[in-house]
Amino acid sequence: MERKLNSVFVKLTNDHVDRNGHVSEVGYLTVANFAYWKICDQVGLLKLYNQHKISGIVFDTHMEFRKEVFEGEEVMINLIFTITDDIRKIVRRLDIYDRENYLVVRVTSNGAFLDLEKRKIVEPPKQILNACLKYLRD
């Protein structure tokens, strides 16, 4: 698996596994959420979010399961943003790959940029938008 700035590796634990013995949807959401914030930090977005008191917010999430993975396996999570025509809104995609680089789960969320003080959806400052386009675009 190729290491990229917009990806992280996570080793799956017993906490991610369900009664069927494979990673559950909650397990996938847990590693996807961890990866989102880690990648935002890696590409400098976390610093910009803190500086501008803005962050991403999720409206809804869809998960597409393609292959089982199990406790002890390492997965790579790749983050991609699509900025919509309404620049305030985004589509966030977290693709989770197994060690053979096979897509096992795609987590797609519709969301936006939230002003943390006004608690309103806002157009992001150019610095945030540029970082998203530079590091997180398909």
pLDDT of residue 3: 62
Q: What is the mean pLDDT of residues 77-89?
A: 94
Q: What is the mean pLDDT of residues 36-53?
A: 96
pLDDT reading at 47 higher than 80: yes
7-135 fold: Thiol Ester Dehydrase; Chain A (3.10.129)
Query: Strands, DSSP E only, in 66-100?
Result: 74-83, 89-97
pLDDT of residue 14: 95
Helical segments of 5-84, H only: 25-42, 45-52
CB 106 within 8 A of CB 65: no
Alpha carbon separation from 137 to 11, 69, 84, 108, 125 (Å, rounded): 25, 27, 12, 14, 17
Residue pLDDT, tens place only, 3-18: 688 999 999 999 999 9
pLDDT reading at 93 higher than 70: yes
CB 56 within 8 A of CB 109: no
Domain definitions of the chain by residue range: 7-135
pLDDT of residue 60: 97
pLDDT of residue 138: 75
Residue pLDDT, tens place only, 112-122: 999 999 999 99
Mean pLDDT over the full length of the chain: 94
3-state DSSP call for residue 35?
helix
pLDDT of residue 135: 87
